[in-house]
């Protein structure tokens, strides 16, 4: 098959969203089926990225380039490498599950909901595929709008507060990044070409300024300590699909930003700032985990666990070695799968009980045994049990982190104790002990819900038992990235820098 | 190769069948699937054992698990003498426990679930002992821990059971924290996590130190102690022993299989497996020996006063595991594993016997409420008696030979060895005492339970008594492979282990060996005698002792208040910090304070914006427009330069 794969998977959902807008509001079934078929089709069309990807090269693949605004050096340039390709696939997969999990729970403004969902999908994929910084920024910001709507319209009781908080945090970060982008543009011979930037060596002082400018945007997204407080509110108030997208993809964009911009474009600054980044990461791991022990709200707890898990991710990335980076990227996927699954699972029970308070549960394993089994698997993956995906990621990260810094590596490993403590405690309070009378009479998962969770269940074990399928995608690109960071700032490139500045 | 893969794969298959189809298809026939699978594993294990006896060892990869840069690890098998004996222990005890459970778990609502967990456990334990690298060991290690969690909390409706399962998992994670760092240290220093590579290269680290927070620490000592952390957790040694007694919340067959015979011995197995590493560090060896000795004494003293039959046996297990570490610590790895092997039979027997008693007593655990059970359940009584004689170390029975071997080799082991030998001998007396306390209180004398209970007293069904009888044979004869030369035996097992585990040099002569043996037999007899006096002849003595030494008694009764201590210094402070510091202060007052409060202007602005908006889309379109406007303006400024 020959079609522009990346453009297709970006614009099929976006065009689809417009199409959904044209459907009559009352034809809810038609709207839902259209959204489902569109997301399935997008997923199917994205599969060649998995099967035809050339794992031997670090370069961009499936590239598409066209001039867009030549006067300003803006191009429509797309491509994926070993770092981004898996996120495109994860996005197309999770989009389907978001549609199916919302099937019965979204009754208000159905049309707008599914349209927003597809808009988010398209723009998220756009973020991962853009090779032009201007295009990247468009997608980055475009995604915010439907996400804001998702939380603000279909969220819980406190949704407006959460939505505005989410928006403000992200906006403040983005504004600083925008400044950074413009400075980069001016220093790259008026070009937004990301690949050209990766080949350019900027003066160190400039790199440092740019590093923090981009850091502002990405750290908020990850979210890193101490700019994480929007996440618990956003997650708690968002509808299930919103939480899944937030946890599954949106917060990965922050880490992806570090990988795509800070590291290859600003390698010297990255190297210099890495210790600080690692310290922040370890704080996030421990802080996020300990605070989980104080939570009384299901979704809030899982949201804070994301802070801890994303701490592992950034620790691995800024360890700047093979195991750390591969573990970090794999853990991004893992976190998308597992936390996505946990939020989907919470959605399953929330649809029945309409409460997020842990105290309203208890004994759910007796009432909903199949559901309990699924939740158990995702809990185990979350605490990094071997043979689940979480183990591979966490192990590589701790190995990489320890290689970079023994103290930080050791501290990060306390996360495995705390992680077990808060997750198993959560599981006990929800599923074990005597059945809470409030839970009596609820039905176990139906086929739609089971089918929604099964793909993620398979991924948990696939990545846990045979992670090489996924690690091998990254080998070349990560090695290339490491080389870039390690050889940066060496004398022979000084001449080149001067030329660029001229 | 295929044959070896089948050993763990058969129980895994049984697990998958029962967990997926237990509810709809196999139901109350679930045990057939599980038993056939473990029987298959047992037969293959026997076959493998005979191959190893013939001198064959195997070290082979099955598939590459994961690769990242220079890190590579696979799933693979190392079959040698140590693995072979573990295969026999695991599959045989597992098989007997499976059969016993058919009777014991009959009619339980989670029947199929129980057997699927047993199968999963057997698979995991086999993966643990068969692995040829540290990461596969870690896989098995965590997987058996998971099964333990499932099975302790099997009756999850009970809060105490759910608590105990969680506690076991989390306490073990403390050990695994060190263990994991040990694995990482090994990879960073030796570049591999495969046993063969580690053992051949570990010597190159001799004399090397590593700087830790300003101190130079011997590298091998550090690695060995980190690994030992894992063993301390899994094998319930001080200070991580607290989970094992609580684990008795699980069904009794589970206590026999997991919390006595197999999983808890994984720590001993690991230390024995890593003997080439431990042996290079005297400090680490002494830590292992002393931890083992202290734990064995500590747990034995607690066992003296408990009344819950399963908890007594649980503390006895902690104590006996301490014995095994004591052995490893003095370099007598072979003796440690020998005791692991004999202990598996007599301790599984004790637990299954206790289960049989509970079965008859409608779940009663308090030995003070039993008495005279001998005449109602003779098979249980006689087998329990054999197990007790064996653990007490009465000559001729399995426990005697392994315990004697440990004490003798400890006695030979330098100053530390002498000390731990003395402790071990004392523990032998205590062991005999508390073991026979159960015999006298539960099986002899008059029945002290309710009339209702007395009415129901009965011997257990055949599916339960036959495993008891088979285990009793083991509790008698399992030690005959290790009869020392001084009494005319050939100590075949020590020679069998020699290639993997070595054998410590013995300086002392036969006379001393006779004396050491004599002392341990004498203290065992003494322990039984005192127990008989206390609980059969003059029942007033223990009561007046408890009254006169109230401080000691309550301390022992409350298990030295360790649980309370941990609650006070770890659990509460962490929870308090979460709620009162992180949530209230840092997240709440500081970060949220800055975000929500400080830029009042922004807050006002957002409030106004909120009022402005008639629909959300427009609002965002506007902010986009503003954004674009900013970009364009900046462009123009830049272009005009």
pLDDT digits (tens, 9 = 90+) for A137-161: 999 988 888 898 888 889 888 888 8
Nearest in space to A49 (alpha carbons), one of A94, A15, A90? A90
Name residues 429-488 of chain B within 8 A of A (Cβ): none
- Determine, for residues A294 and B575 on separate chains, whether the beta-carbon distance falls below 8 Å: yes
Model confidence band, residue A191 (pLDDT cutoffs 50, 70, 90): confident
Of A171, A413, A428, the CB nearest to B177: A413
Of B64, B153, B631, the CB nearest to A468: B64
* B630 interfacial to chain A (CB closer than 8 Å): yes
Mean pLDDT of chain B: 88
- Determine, for residues A417 and B156 on separate chains, whether the beta-carbon distance falls below 8 Å: no
Model confidence band, residue B24 (pLDDT cutoffs 50, 70, 90): confident
Closest CA of chain B from A39, distance in Å: 23
Closest CA of chain B from A37, distance in Å: 26
Kindly tell me if the per-residue pLDDT of A168 is higher than 90: no
- Closest residue in B to A369 (Cα) is B23
- Determine, for residues B157 and A434 on separate chains, whether the beta-carbon distance falls below 8 Å: yes
Closest CA of chain B from A149, distance in Å: 7
The DSSP-derived string for A66-87 is EEEEGGGTEEEEEEE-TTTHHH
3-state secondary structure of B150: helix
The confidence score (pLDDT) of residue A498 equals 46
Question: For residue range A54-88, what is the model confidence (pLDDT) as tens digits?
Answer: 999 888 999 999 988 888 888 999 999 999 999 99
- Determine, for residues B68 and A363 on separate chains, whether the beta-carbon distance falls below 8 Å: no
3-state secondary structure of B583: helix
The confidence score (pLDDT) of residue A502 equals 42
The confidence score (pLDDT) of residue B602 equals 58
Tokens of A188: 């790259």
Q: For chain B, what percent of residues have pLDDT higher than 90? A: 62
The distance of Cα B166 from the centroid of its chain, to the nearest Å, equals: 15
User: Which residues have C-beta within 8 Å of that of residue B361, sequence separation ≥ 6?
Assistant: B369, B370, B449, B453, B456, B457
Best to test chain A binding among B66, B74, B127 (most A CBs inside 10 Å): B66
Closest CA of chain B from A2, distance in Å: 33
The confidence score (pLDDT) of residue A497 equals 45
- Determine, for residues A229 and B595 on separate chains, whether the beta-carbon distance falls below 8 Å: yes
- Chain A residues in contact with B159 (beta carbon < 8 A): 432-434
- Determine, for residues B620 and A171 on separate chains, whether the beta-carbon distance falls below 8 Å: no
Q: Are A223 and A230 in contact (CB under 8 A)?
A: yes
* B170 interfacial to chain A (CB closer than 8 Å): yes
User: Which residues have C-beta within 8 Å of that of residue B70, sequence separation ≥ 6?
Assistant: A322, B191
- Chain B residues in contact with A142 (beta carbon < 8 A): 624
The confidence score (pLDDT) of residue B520 equals 92
Model confidence band, residue A495 (pLDDT cutoffs 50, 70, 90): very low
The confidence score (pLDDT) of residue A493 equals 47
Question: For residue range B239-289, what is the model confidence (pLDDT) as tens digits?
Answer: 999 999 999 999 999 999 998 889 999 999 999 999 999 999 999 999 999
- Closest residue in B to A418 (Cα) is B170
The confidence score (pLDDT) of residue B174 equals 93
d(CA B170, CA B160): 15
Closest CA of chain A from B358, distance in Å: 23
Model confidence band, residue A500 (pLDDT cutoffs 50, 70, 90): very low
Tokens of B392: 């007490």
* B60 interfacial to chain A (CB closer than 8 Å): no
* B579 interfacial to chain A (CB closer than 8 Å): yes
- Determine, for residues B162 and A144 on separate chains, whether the beta-carbon distance falls below 8 Å: no
Best to test chain A binding among B68, B212, B230, B588 (most A CBs inside 10 Å): B68
The confidence score (pLDDT) of residue B604 equals 66
Burial B586-596 (b: 16+ CB within 10 A, else e): bbeeebeeebe
- Closest residue in A to B166 (Cα) is A424
Nearest in space to B57 (alpha carbons), one of B90, B86, B89, B81? B81
- Determine, for residues B153 and A229 on separate chains, whether the beta-carbon distance falls below 8 Å: no
Q: Are A226 and B591 in contact (CB under 8 A)?
A: yes
The DSSP-derived string for B351-398 is HHHHHHHHHHTTT--BGGG---GGGT-HHHHHHHHHHHHHHHT-TTSH
- Give rounded-to-5 percent helix, strand, coil for chain A: 75, 5, 20
The confidence score (pLDDT) of residue B390 equals 94
Best to test chain A binding among B184, B585, B591 (most A CBs inside 10 Å): B184
- Chain B residues in contact with A414 (beta carbon < 8 A): 177
d(CA B430, CA B523): 9
User: Which residues have C-beta within 8 Å of that of residue A463, sequence separation ≥ 6?
Assistant: A330, A333, A334, A337, A388, A389, A392, A469, A470
Domain positions in chain A: 5-501
Best to test chain B binding among A141, A224, A424 (most B CBs inside 10 Å): A424
* B153 interfacial to chain A (CB closer than 8 Å): yes
The DSSP-derived string for A263-330 is HHHSHHHHHHHHHHHHHHHHHHHHHHHHHHTT--BHHHHHHHHHHHHHHHHHHHHHHTSHHHHHHHHH
Tokens of B351: 């637990």
φ, ψ dihedrals at A78, nearest 5°: -125, 155
- Chain A residues in contact with B157 (beta carbon < 8 A): 363, 366, 432-435
Kindly tell me if the per-residue pLDDT of B232 is higher than 80: yes
* B12 interfacial to chain A (CB closer than 8 Å): no
Best to test chain B binding among A71, A291, A305, A437 (most B CBs inside 10 Å): A291
d(CA B184, CA A337): 26
Name residues 178-237 of chain B within 8 A of A (Cβ): 180-181, 184, 187-188, 212-213
Tokens of A158: 């406190």
Of B139, B213, B578, the CB nearest to A387: B139
Q: Lowest-pLDDT range, A282-291, B554-563, B601-610? A: B601-610
Kindly tell me if the per-residue pLDDT of B383 is higher than 50: yes
d(CA B570, CA B467): 42
Kindly tell me if the per-residue pLDDT of B632 is higher than 70: no
Mean pLDDT of chain A: 90
d(CA B117, CA B12): 10
* B72 interfacial to chain A (CB closer than 8 Å): no
The confidence score (pLDDT) of residue B429 equals 94
The confidence score (pLDDT) of residue A494 equals 45
The confidence score (pLDDT) of residue B508 equals 77
- Closest residue in B to A230 (Cα) is B592
Tokens of B37: 């699978």
User: Which residues have C-beta within 8 Å of that of residue B599, sequence separation ≥ 6?
Assistant: none
Q: ipTM of this model?
A: 0.91
Of B142, B149, B170, the CB nearest to A417: B170
Closest CA of chain A from B382, distance in Å: 38
Map tokens 């026939």 to a residue.
B29
Question: For residue range B489-519, what is the model confidence (pLDDT) as tens digits?
Answer: 788 888 888 888 888 888 778 888 899 999 9
- Determine, for residues B606 and A293 on separate chains, whether the beta-carbon distance falls below 8 Å: no
Kindly tell me if the per-residue pLDDT of B116 is higher than 70: yes
Kindly tell me if the per-residue pLDDT of B313 is higher than 90: yes
Q: Lowest-pLDDT range, A246-260, A274-288, B512-526, B531-545? A: B531-545
- Determine, for residues A399 and B71 on separate chains, whether the beta-carbon distance falls below 8 Å: yes
Which stretches within A387-502 are classed as H helix? 389-404, 406-431, 447-465, 468-487, 494-501
- Chain B residues in contact with A392 (beta carbon < 8 A): 66
Model confidence band, residue A245 (pLDDT cutoffs 50, 70, 90): very high
The confidence score (pLDDT) of residue A23 equals 87
- Closest residue in B to A414 (Cα) is B177
Model confidence band, residue A225 (pLDDT cutoffs 50, 70, 90): confident
Closest CA of chain A from B202, distance in Å: 19
* Peptide bond between residue B482 and the one before it cis (omega within 30 degrees of 0): no
3-state secondary structure of B59: strand
Question: For residue range A114-134, what is the model confidence (pLDDT) as tens digits?
Answer: 999 999 999 999 999 999 999
Nearest in space to B156 (alpha carbons), one of A233, A38, A369, A281? A369
Helix (H) or strand (E) holding B76: strand B71-79
- Chain B residues in contact with A115 (beta carbon < 8 A): none
- The whole-number average pLDDT for the span A478-500 is 67
d(CA B19, CA A460): 18
Question: For residue range B400-436, what is the model confidence (pLDDT) as tens digits?
Answer: 999 999 999 999 888 899 999 999 999 999 999 999 9
- Chain A residues in contact with B627 (beta carbon < 8 A): 141, 178
Question: For residue range B435-461, what is the model confidence (pLDDT) as tens digits?
Answer: 999 999 999 988 888 888 888 888 898
Model confidence band, residue B624 (pLDDT cutoffs 50, 70, 90): low
Question: For residue range B127-153, what is the model confidence (pLDDT) as tens digits?
Answer: 999 999 999 999 999 999 999 999 999
């Amino acid at each position: 098959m020959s079609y522009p794969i990346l453009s297709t998977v970006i614009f099929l959902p976006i065009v689809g969203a417009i199409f959904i807008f044209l459907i009559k509001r009352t034809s809810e079934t038609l709207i839902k089926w259209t959204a489902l078929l569109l997301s399935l089709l997008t997923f199917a069309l994205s599969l060649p990225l998995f099967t035809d990807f050339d794992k031997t090269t670090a370069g961009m693949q499936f590239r598409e380039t066209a001039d867009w605004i030549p006067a300003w050096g803006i191009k429509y340039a797309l491509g994926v490498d070993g770092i981004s390709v898996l996120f495109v696939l994860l996005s197309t997969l999770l989009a389907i599950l978001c549609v199916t999990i919302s099937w019965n729970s979204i009754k208000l403004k159905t049309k707008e909901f599914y349209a927003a969902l597809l808009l988010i999908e398209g723009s998220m994929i756009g973020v991962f595929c853009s090779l032009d910084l201007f295009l990247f920024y468009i997608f980055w910001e475009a995604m915010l709008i439907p996400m804001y709507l998702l939380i603000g319209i279909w969220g819980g009781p406190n949704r407006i507060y959460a939505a505005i908080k989410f928006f403000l945090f992200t906006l403040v970060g983005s504004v600083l990044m925008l400044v950074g982008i413009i400075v980069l543009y001016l220093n790259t011979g008026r070009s937004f070409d990301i690949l050209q930037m990766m080949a350019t060596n900027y003066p160190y002082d400039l790199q440092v300024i740019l590093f923090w400018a981009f850091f502002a945007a990405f750290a908020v997204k990850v979210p890193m300590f101490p700019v994480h407080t929007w996440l618990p509110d956003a997650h708690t108030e968002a509808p299930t699909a919103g939480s899944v997208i937030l946890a599954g993809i949106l917060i990965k964009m922050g880490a992806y930003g570090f990988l795509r911009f800070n590291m290859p474009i600003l390698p010297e600054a990255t190297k210099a700032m890495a210790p600080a980044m690692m310290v922040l990461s370890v704080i996030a791991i421990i802080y996020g985990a300990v605070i989980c022990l104080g939570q009384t709200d299901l979704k809030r707890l899982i949201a804070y666990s994301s802070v801890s898990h994303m701490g592992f991710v950034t620790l691995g990335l800024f360890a700047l070695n093979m195991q750390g980076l591969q573990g970090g990227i794999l853990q991004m996927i893992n976190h998308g799968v597992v936390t996505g699954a946990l939020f989907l699972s919470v959605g399953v029970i929330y649809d029945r009980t309409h409460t997020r308070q842990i105290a309203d549960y208890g004994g759910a394993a007796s009432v909903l045994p199949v559901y309990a089994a699924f939740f158990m698997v995702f809990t185990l993956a979350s605490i990094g049990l071997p043979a689940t995906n979480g183990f591979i990621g966490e192990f590589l990260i701790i190995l990489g982190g320890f290689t970079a810094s023994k103290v930080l590596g050791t501290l990060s490993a306390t996360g495995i104790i705390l992680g077990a403590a808060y997750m198993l405690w959560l599981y006990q309070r929800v599923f074990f002990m005597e059945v809470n009378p409030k839970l009596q009479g609820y039905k176990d998962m139906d086929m739609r819900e089971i089918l929604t969770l099964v793909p993620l269940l398979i991924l948990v074990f696939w990545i846990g038992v045979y992670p090489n399928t996924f690690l091998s995608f990254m080998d070349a690109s990560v090695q290339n990235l490491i080389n870039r960071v390690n050889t940066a700032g060496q004398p022979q490139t000084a001449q080149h820098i001067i030329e660029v500045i001229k | 190769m295929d044959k070896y893969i089948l050993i763990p794969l058969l129980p895994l298959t049984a697990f998958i069948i029962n967990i997926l189809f237990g509810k709809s298809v196999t139901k109350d026939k679930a045990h057939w699937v599980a038993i056939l699978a473990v029987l298959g594993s047992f037969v293959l294990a026997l076959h493998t054992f005979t191959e190893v006896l013939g001198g064959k060892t195997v070290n082979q990869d099955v598939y590459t698990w994961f690769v990242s840069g220079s890190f590579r690890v696979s799933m693979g098998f190392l079959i040698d003498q140590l693995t072979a004996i573990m295969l026999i222990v695991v599959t045989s005890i597992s098989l007997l426990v499976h059969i016993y459970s058919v009777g014991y778990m009959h009619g339980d609502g989670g029947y199929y679930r129980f057997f699927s967990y047993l199968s999963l456990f057997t698979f995991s334990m086999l993966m643990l002992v068969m692995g040829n690298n540290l990461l596969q060991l870690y896989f098995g290690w965590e997987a058996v821990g998971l099964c333990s969690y499932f099975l302790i909390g099997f009756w999850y409706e009970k809060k105490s059971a759910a608590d105990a399962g969680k506690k076991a998992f989390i306490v073990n994670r403390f050990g695994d924290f060190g263990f994991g760092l040990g694995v990482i240290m090994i990879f960073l220093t030796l570049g591999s996590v495969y046993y063969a590579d580690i053992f051949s290269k570990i010597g190159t680290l001799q004399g090397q130190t590593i700087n830790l927070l300003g101190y130079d620490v011997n590298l091998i000592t550090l690695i060995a102690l980190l690994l030992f952390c894992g063993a301390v957790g899994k094998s319930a040694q001080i200070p991580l022993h607290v989970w094992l007694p609580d684990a008795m919340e699980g069904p009794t067959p589970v206590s026999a299989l997991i919390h006595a015979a197999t999983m808890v011995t994984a720590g001993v197995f690991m230390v024995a497996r890593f003997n080439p590493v431990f042996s290079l560090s005297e400090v680490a060896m002494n830590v292992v020996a002393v931890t083992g000795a202290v734990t064995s004494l500590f747990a034995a003293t607690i066992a003296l006063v408990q009344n819950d039959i399963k908890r007594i046996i649980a503390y006895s297990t902690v104590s006996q595991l301490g014995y095994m570490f004591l052995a490893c610590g003095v370099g007598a790895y072979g003796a440690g594993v020998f005791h692991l092997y004999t202990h598996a039979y007599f301790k599984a027997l004790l637990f299954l016997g206790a289960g049989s008693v509970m079965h008859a007593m409608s779940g009663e655990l308090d030995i003070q409420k039993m008495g005279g059970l001998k005449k109602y359940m003779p098979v249980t009584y006689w087998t329990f008696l054999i197990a007790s004689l064996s653990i007490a170390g009465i000559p001729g029975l399995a426990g005697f030979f392994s315990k004697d071997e440990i004490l003798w080799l400890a006695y030979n082991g330098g100053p530390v060895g002498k000390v731990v030998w003395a402790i071990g001998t004392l523990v032998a007396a205590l062991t005999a005492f508390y073991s026979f306390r159960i015999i006298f209180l539960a099986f002899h004398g008059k029945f002290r339970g309710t009339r209702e209970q007395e009415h129901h007293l009965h011997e257990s069904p055949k599916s339960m008594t036959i495993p008891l009888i088979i285990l009793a044979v083991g509790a008698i004869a399992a030690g005959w492979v290790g009869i020392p030369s001084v009494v005319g035996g050939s100590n075949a097992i020590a020679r069998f282990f020699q290639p993997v585990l070595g054998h410590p040099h013995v300086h002392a002569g036969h006379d001393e060996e006779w004396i050491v043996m004599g002392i341990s037999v004498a203290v065992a007899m003494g322990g039984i005698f005192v127990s008989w006096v206390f609980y059969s002849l003059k029942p007033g003595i223990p009561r007046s002792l408890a009254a006169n030494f109230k401080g000691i008694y309550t301390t022992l009764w409350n298990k030295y208040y360790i649980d309370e201590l941990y609650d006070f210094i770890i659990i509460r402070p962490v929870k308090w910090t979460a709620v009162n510091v992180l949530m209230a202060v840092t997240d709440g007052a500081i970060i949220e304070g800055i975000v929500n409060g400080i830029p009042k202007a922004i807050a006002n602005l957002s409030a106004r914006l909120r009022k402005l908006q008639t629909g959300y889309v427009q609002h965002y379109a506007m902010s986009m427009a503003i954004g674009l406007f900013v970009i364009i303006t900046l462009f123009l400024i830049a272009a005009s330069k």
